[in-house]
Amino acid sequence: MPSTPTSKNERVSEAALDYTESLPTTTSGQHGYLSLLGLRSYDTAALLKRLDEGLSYAAFDRLKRRLKVTSQELADAALIAHRTLARRKRVGRFGPDESDRLVRLARVFSRAIELYGGDSDGAQAWLMRPNRALGGASPFEMAKTEVGAGEVERLISQIEHGVIV
């Protein structure tokens, strides 16, 4: 039976307890999180080119499987309307703005995986839980916008550094 927290340090998010420095489920590098989308090139120039061309529908499917969400849940998080998603599936490619939002979600998920020491299941569960430090919203919900994603990444940084949130 888990004990109740007795000190400030023990009240730090449970994620801090599981944190280690490794990231075995993604590729290292500046944009290693792109592996969550099935991309193999991680430099900025290649990323910008890929965003301009638009990500494939297969990249969407891969991220959906890694996050363990439905197509509609991922589309909602990436602000992609249901009919637009159906069109993108037929065409097989997303637009640049939709691709950018998918990359943002992959980046946030990758940071959560880092926080959980490579445990993508733990990271996924953390992303989906309402979080008091985010006003009761889940990190996944917050990542719908760049500002929200920044708040999630700031929270992850605070947890990593033992800041009580």
Question: Does residue 1 lie within any of the structural domains?
Answer: no
Question: Does residue 165 lie within any of the structural domains?
Answer: no
Nearest to 80 by CA among 64, 102, 109: 102
Question: Does residue 142 lie within any of the structural domains?
Answer: yes
Question: Does residue 138 lie within any of the structural domains?
Answer: yes
Against a cut of 0.85, is the pTM above it? no
Question: Does residue 2 lie within any of the structural domains?
Answer: no
Question: Does residue 150 lie within any of the structural domains?
Answer: yes
Number of helices (H) and strands (E) in the chain: give both, helices first. Answer: 9, 0
Separation of alpha carbons 71 and 162, rounded Å: 35
How far is CA 22 from each of CA 28, 35, 139, 160, rounded to the nearest angstrom? 10, 16, 21, 12
Question: Does residue 3 lie within any of the structural domains?
Answer: no
Domain count, the chain: 1
Q: What is the pLDDT along the chain (165 residues), one digit of tens a residue?
A: 444 444 333 333 333 333 323 333 444 456 677 777 887 776 788 888 989 999 999 999 999 999 999 999 999 999 999 999 999 999 999 999 999 999 999 999 999 999 999 999 999 999 999 999 999 999 999 999 999 999 999 999 999 998 876
Question: Does residue 147 lie within any of the structural domains?
Answer: yes
Residue 29 structural domain? 9-160
